[in-house]
Amino acid sequence: MKVNLRHIRYFLALADELNFRRASEFLHISQPALTRTIQDLEAGLAVRLFDRAQNFVRLTDAGRVFREGGRRVMNGLEATIDLTRRVSIGEAGALRVGYTDFAISGELPELLKQFHHKHPGITVRPHHGVTAVQLDELKDDKLDIGFVTGPVRQAGFHSRVVQTDRPICIVPEGHRLAARRSVMLADLAEEDFVHGPADAWAHFYDYLFPLCRKAGFQPNIVQEAFNSVGILGLVSCGMGITILTESTYNFATGGLVPLAITDIADAMVTEAIWASENLRMPTRHFVDFLDERARPEAWNPRT
Amino acid sequence: MKVNLRHIRYFLALADELNFRRASEFLHISQPALTRTIQDLEAGLAVRLFDRAQNFVRLTDAGRVFREGGRRVMNGLEATIDLTRRVSIGEAGALRVGYTDFAISGELPELLKQFHHKHPGITVRPHHGVTAVQLDELKDDKLDIGFVTGPVRQAGFHSRVVQTDRPICIVPEGHRLAARRSVMLADLAEEDFVHGPADAWAHFYDYLFPLCRKAGFQPNIVQEAFNSVGILGLVSCGMGITILTESTYNFATGGLVPLAITDIADAMVTEAIWASENLRMPTRHFVDFLDERARPEAWNPRT
DNA sequence: CTTTCATGATACCTATTATGCATCAAAAAC
DNA sequence: GTTTTTGATGCATAATAGGTATCATGAAAG
């Protein structure tokens, strides 16, 4: 005879009550059914679990050990079922997120923070990788969501733009260009520039500096600040001008004037991308999260 | 529908094989039975555990979680059943052993060491206590075996003598008394004594010193050694004589002469004692162990 | 392109197992 | 003594698990 969860459930009830009738009522079965189940269990284990008489029922030493173990088994199973259910509806699980340098220095940290707040049961596992590598990993189901520099127009992927980084020029109020709405790159050739942190912003400057060279100049860096807020601060007190991205300008306070740069056509786009088929639940939740997040705030329209 | 160990067993087999027919063969059931059991399980959990097609079967994310949990449950149950069985036959468990100061400074440590060697699964839990307290604890089933100073002649207890401590006088070879077989206490009134460690041997000296007083003297302590071997060493190099117990004399090397003391009638007896009814398995094993130990070595006859 | 083979699912019947009811024997309560 | 309460047992029934035959589908072989 094989031991069953039924045996354990009944045993635990009896071990708590130490009375067949009361335990059987608790279990909503008849007393004889309980008696025989306990007999079956004891026979199956070849172990006497209860000392019983008409007068009293009490656990043997072995019974006490089995009670502890039985409780652990039942609790473990309950926890397992619960976790399994949560994973199946995507309330728990892991989301493997790839990111480029550019993504991680942009919106991604905040995005992941918000996602974690909405789905605290989902563990985000970040993996660094350049765009091409991430696409391969997505195809091989080694990654759920990639944050890559786009736009990617490749079959088998869906994506949402999460960050469009159009460069703008920022000058202090009172600057000679401050009255204009827009400039061309060549207009900035003689200006002093405030520079962002070279390492974290490498992607941006790799993109920007060739454009400047094409416009015929090399930016004259006079100050370097630790982050975008620092850059904007230096600009606002007249140390120079800067070229940053739209999204970075969101952090700006007063005293600054943004100018479009008319001869830079392409924005730098960072998009969340995923393989179209067999979406895992955490991935679905992430996509839904992105869409919900986009809608009310008019953040970025869908691709 | 309720989840059963059967469901888990079948699930784990299928999770290993990822093929219904092979898994069903492994389980010695038909393939349709397995199919339906998995369906029942998935319905019971309201969770899809396998992605399946005619072509392949593979675990879902939730299935992977359930596999881990299911394995834990099965292993836990197996371990529990095993431990329960071992406890029921007394191969595992705990033995609550009481001891007096006198017992612990005598044979008890060696005895427990040998018992542990014979029954490594039984954990010995030592509790210090004087004889009267131990007897109460035995009655209240707070203790399995007591090591008490006997003889106890009380209904409801069984016992075995494990240690008879008859005091003997030990003198160095060449001493004025060395030619004799026995002495009386009064013969030792003028001797220099080597003394044992006062704390550990308190029981012994509480017993001996009144006898000396009755014989008309107070022993003249000239040296104190750390343990019995030390005492015997000091005696053998002529520092004095000593009164020890027979069992302690077993440690003696050469150069020493033991003398019976004719006017001390009562030996100090230490006995293992237990309540006669409802012996727990570890207690039985300990009693058997004592009896086996007594027989071949003619150590101490039964009470 | 058709045939064959292997897969998992379904229908239907049987064997096994669990349960309830009625009842028993023993001890405690009255 | 009688009644009540305890756990155990016998027997019939209901629920569950299992087996056989068969289907539908897709892949491989011809």
Asked whether residue A74 falls in the same domain as residue A13, the answer is yes
* Distance D16 C1' – B32 CA (angstroms): 15
For residue B136, the domain's CATH number is 3.40.190.10
Asked whether residue A76 falls in the same domain as residue A97, the answer is no
| Segment B144-203, tens digit of pLDDT | 999 988 778 888 899 999 888 788 899 999 899 999 988 999 999 999 999 877 766 666
CB–CB of A6/A44 below 8 Å? no
pLDDT interval class at B303 (50, 70, 90): very low
* Distance C13 C1' – B56 CA (angstroms): 30
Residue where a domain stops, chosen among A66, A88, A110: A88
DSSP A149-190: EE----TTEEEEEEEEE-EEEEEETT-TTTT-SEE-GGGGTT
Asked whether residue B111 falls in the same domain as residue B247, the answer is no
**Residue A92 is encoded by which pair of tokens?**
């728990």
Q: Enumerate residue ranges in chain A where pLDDT < 70.
A: 1, 102, 199-203, 247, 250-251, 296-303
Phi, psi torsion values for B282, nearest 5 degrees: -60, -35
**Residue B149 is encoded by which pair of tokens?**
């100073």
Residue B221 lies in a domain: yes
Asked whether residue B75 falls in the same domain as residue B105, the answer is no
pLDDT interval class at B299 (50, 70, 90): very low
Residues of chain B with C-beta less than 8 angstroms from the C-beta of A7: none
Residue A303 lies in a domain: no
Asked whether residue A33 falls in the same domain as residue A47, the answer is yes
Best to test chain B binding among A73, A123, A281 (most B CBs inside 10 Å): A73
Cα–Cα distance for residue pair B214/B191, rounded to 1 Å = 16
Residue A84 lies in a domain: yes
Q: B87 CA to chain A: closest CA distance, Å?
A: 5
Q: What is the mean pLDDT of chain B?
A: 87
Residue where a domain stops, chosen among A88, A113, A139: A88
Asked whether residue B177 falls in the same domain as residue B223, the answer is yes
| Segment B71-130, tens digit of pLDDT | 999 999 999 999 999 999 999 999 999 998 778 877 899 999 999 999 999 999 999 887
Residue A302 lies in a domain: no
What burial class does residue B165 get, using C-beta atoms within 10 Å of its C-beta: 0-12 exposed, 13-18 middle, 19+ buried?
buried
Residues of chain B with C-beta less than 8 angstroms from the C-beta of A73: 73, 76-77, 80
Asked whether residue A175 falls in the same domain as residue A257, the answer is yes
Cα–Cα distance for residue pair B180/B301, rounded to 1 Å = 29
Residue B302 lies in a domain: no
Q: What is the CA radius of gyration of chain B?
A: 32
* Distance D6 C1' – B93 CA (angstroms): 31
For residue A83, the domain's CATH number is 1.10.10.10
* Distance C25 C1' – B236 CA (angstroms): 75
- Find and give the residue nearest to D20, measured CA to C1': B30
CA terminus-to-terminus distance, chain A: 62
For chain A, the residue count is 303
Residue B302: predicted pLDDT: 46
Residue A144 lies in a domain: yes
Contact A77 B73 (CB under 8 A): yes
- Which among B8, B47, B84 is the nearest to A66, CB-wise? B84
B186 Cβ contact list (under 8 Å, min separation 6): B215, B216, B217, B263
Amino acid of residue B145: I
- Distance (Å) of CA B43 to CA B7, B37, B38, B47: 11, 10, 8, 7
Sign, CA dihedral A143-A145-A147-A152, equals positive
Higher-scoring residue by pLDDT: B275, B297: B275
B15 Cβ contact list (under 8 Å, min separation 6): B59, B63, B67, B70
Closest CA relative to residue A70, chosen from B88, B94, B10, B79: B79
Cα–Cα distance for residue pair B23/B16, rounded to 1 Å = 8
Closest CA relative to residue B237, chosen from B289, B140, B172: B172
Residue B41: predicted pLDDT: 94
Contact A73 B77 (CB under 8 A): yes
Over range B1-30, report the average pLDDT. 90
Q: What single DSSP character describes residue A241?
A: B
Residue in the block written with tokens 């656990």: A59
Chain A residues near any Cβ of chain B (below 8 Å): 2-6, 8, 45-49, 60-62, 65-66, 68-70, 72-73, 76-77, 79-81, 83-85, 87-88, 93, 280-281
Chain B residues near any Cβ of chain A (below 8 Å): 2-6, 8, 45-49, 60-62, 65-66, 68-70, 72-73, 76-77, 79-81, 83-85, 87-88, 93, 280-281
Cα–Cα distance for residue pair B261/B182, rounded to 1 Å = 6
Plot region of A173 (φ>0 → left; ψ -120 to 50 → alpha; else → beta)? beta
- Which among B3, B62, B93 is the nearest to A87, CB-wise? B62
Asked whether residue A251 falls in the same domain as residue A215, the answer is yes
Contact B73 A69 (CB under 8 A): no
- Which among B4, B45, B72 is the nearest to A85, CB-wise? B45
Closest CA relative to residue A272, chosen from A162, A166, A122: A162
Q: What single DSSP character describes residue A251?
A: T
Nearest nucleotide (CA of A55 to C1'):
D6
Nearest nucleotide (CA of B32 to C1'):
C9
Residue B113: predicted pLDDT: 95
Over range B63-68, report the average pLDDT. 95
**Structural domain tally of chain B?**
3
Three-state SS sequence of chain B: CCCCHHHHHHHHHHHHHCCHHHHHHHHCCCHHHHHHHHHHHHHHHCCCCEEECCCCEEECHHHHHHHHHHHHHHHHHHHHHHHHHHHHCCCCEEEEEEECHHHHCCCHHHHHHHHHHHCCCEEEEEEECCHHHHHHHHHCCCCCEEEEEECCCCCCEEEEEEEEECEEEEEECCCCCCCCCEECHHHHCCCEEEECCCCCCHHHHHHHHHHHHHCCCCCEEEEECCCHHHHHHHHHCCCCEEEEEHHHHCCCCCCEEEEEECCCCCCEEEEEEEECCCCCHHHHHHHHHHHHHHHHHCCCCCC
Cα–Cα distance for residue pair B98/B204, rounded to 1 Å = 18
Higher-scoring residue by pLDDT: B270, B251: B270
Asked whether residue A276 falls in the same domain as residue A154, the answer is yes
Nearest nucleotide (CA of B34 to C1'):
D18
CB–CB of B243/B118 below 8 Å? no
Plot region of B174 (φ>0 → left; ψ -120 to 50 → alpha; else → beta)? left
CB–CB of B216/B76 below 8 Å? no
Asked whether residue A173 falls in the same domain as residue A242, the answer is yes
Residue A155 lies in a domain: yes
Contact B72 A62 (CB under 8 A): no
Cα–Cα distance for residue pair B88/A202, rounded to 1 Å = 70
Residue B249 lies in a domain: yes
- Which among A76, A81, A280 is the nearest to B3, CB-wise? A81
| Structural domain containing residue B292 | 93-164+268-297
Q: How far is CA A91 from the centre of its chain?
A: 13
Best to test chain A binding among B2, B45, B80, B91 (most A CBs inside 10 Å): B80
Asked whether residue B148 falls in the same domain as residue B283, the answer is yes
List the nucleotides on chain D closer than 7 A to a protein CB: 5-10, 17-22, 24-27
CA terminus-to-terminus distance, chain B: 62
Asked whether residue B13 falls in the same domain as residue B84, the answer is yes
Residue where a domain stops, chosen among A30, A57, A88: A88
